[in-house]
């Protein structure tokens, strides 16, 4: 018998992420790829892009090079309409939509599958997108049951399911998914992505092989940003991105809107011009609907506040600013009058506000107005 031909796998990644991807390629080549893989790392660094490449490689049937891009498996992996290859977090309203088999074939009504496909299409358009889901999207037990029901329809071909934002599983869904992981069907692979593996049940983590995807270095980010936008990245966007192309792309669209409001909030709050800043906040986004764009925009705004406040400390200690353009626009008297305790207390208030908004403990409107008033309460 002749020697078995080694299949060559081609999975692209940045230099910063090469170590992780090389481990996956080795596992593919040695036919020991885990049936459950967990990819964790910060938002917008390419976890979904890597998951899509792995799915294509697993589903490819070319005898020598995978993914080939031409076989049926590759084409299925590259088809956004193949919703059976994905488990996307949905809102309760979206999950409660009828499935395709529950409605008439002639009906044009929106179904759970059509909603899922619309999200998959967004991922295909920009796998780095940090703002593609609706606010309140979760993975509930109904979605897990629907996933398990599909296995009975599966043929002998390799099946791969990507579960992005896996930390959005609620406890009932996590327990149901755990049972699935205990007996993964033959030729079936799960790829979970998450901002932190610590947000998943320990029992789920224990049944997954995990890799950490690192942020991009500045030179890599500049290159990727240019490839995506055909323009140079600004110093402020580069500093704010923290090595995440997703953060860079999202903030780039919001920079001209949010940075003046953040500057005004710091200046007006410090000078106790509360009515001015509250009106500006209302004009900017407090009147917006409670959709994913509005919520994520407010969280990014709070992050901008965080960066500018930190830059004040950096200015006072002679360290390079992370957002040099916007931070240099602060009045010098404010830069010099702010004490380290005042800045530290302000940072804690910003972080506390962001957590309350993200956890839906309070409404963004109330939280931002309260923050504007109490941002610099305390030592002067």
Q: What is the pLDDT of residues 129-182, one digit of tens each?
A: 999 998 889 999 999 999 988 766 556 679 999 999 999 999 999 999 999 999
Average pLDDT over residues 23-47: 96
* Banded pLDDT at 291 (limits 50, 70, 90): very low
Give tens-digit pLDDT for 175-222. Answer: 999 999 998 888 899 999 999 999 999 999 999 999 999 999 999 999
Mean pLDDT of the chain: 91
Contacts of 151 (CB under 8 A, 6+ apart): 159, 185, 188
How far apart (Å, rounded) are the C-alpha atoms in residues 377 and 352? 15
Position 295 pLDDT exceeds 50: yes
* Banded pLDDT at 1 (limits 50, 70, 90): very low
Contact 270/342 with Cβ under 8 angstroms? Answer: no
Average pLDDT over residues 5-31: 93
Q: Give me the domains of the chain, ranges plus CATH numbers.
A: 8-212 (3.40.50.300), 219-374 (no CATH)
Average pLDDT over residues 318-332: 94
State residue 360's pLDDT score: 83
């Amino acid at each position: 018998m002749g020697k078995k031909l080694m299949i060559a796998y081609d999975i692209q990644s940045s230099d910063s992420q090469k170590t992780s991807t090389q481990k996956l390629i080795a596992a593919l080549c040695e036919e020991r790829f885990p049936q459950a893989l967990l990819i964790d790392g910060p938002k917008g660094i390419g976890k979904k892009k890597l998951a899509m490449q792995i799915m294509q490689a697993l589903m490819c049937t070319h005898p020598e090079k995978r993914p080939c891009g031409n076989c049926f498996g590759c084409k299925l992996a590259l088809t956004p309409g193949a919703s059976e290859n994905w488990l996307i977090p949905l809102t309760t309203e979206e999950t409660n939509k009828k499935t395709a088999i529950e409605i008439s074939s002639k009906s044009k009504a929106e179904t759970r599958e059509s909603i899922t496909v619309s999200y998959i299409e967004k991922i295909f358009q920009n796998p780095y997108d940090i703002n593609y889901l609706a606010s309140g999207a979760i993975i509930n037990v109904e979605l897990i049951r629907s996933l398990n029901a599909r296995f009975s329809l599966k043929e002998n071909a390799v099946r791969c399911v990507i579960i992005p934002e896996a930390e959005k599983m609620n406890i009932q869904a996590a327990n149901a998914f755990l049972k699935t992981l205990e007996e993964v069907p033959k030729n079936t692979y799960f790829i979970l992505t998450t901002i932190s593996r610590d947000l998943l049940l320990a029992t789920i983590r224990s049944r997954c092989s995990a890799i950490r995807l690192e942020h991009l270095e500045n030179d890599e980010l500049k290159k990727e940003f240019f490839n995506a936008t055909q323009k140079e990245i600004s110093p402020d966007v580069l500093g704010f991105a923290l090595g995440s192309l997703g953060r860079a792309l999202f903030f780039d669209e919001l920079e001209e809107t949010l940075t003046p409001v953040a500057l005004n909030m710091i200046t007006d709050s410090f000078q106790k011009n509360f009515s001015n800043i509250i009106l500006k906040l209302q004009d900017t986004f407090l009147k917006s609907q409670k959709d994913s764009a509005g919520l994520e925009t407010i969280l990014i705004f709070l992050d901008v506040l965080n960066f500018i406040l930190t830059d004040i400390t950096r200015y006072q200690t002679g360290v390079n600013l992370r957002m040099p353009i916007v931070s240099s626009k602060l009045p010098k008297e404010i830069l010099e009058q702010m004490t380290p305790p005042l800045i530290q207390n302000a940072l804690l208030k910003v972080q506390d506000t962001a957590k309350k908004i993200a956890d839906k403990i309070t409404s963004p409107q109330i939280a931002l107005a309260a923050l504007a008033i109490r941002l610099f309460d305390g030592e002067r």
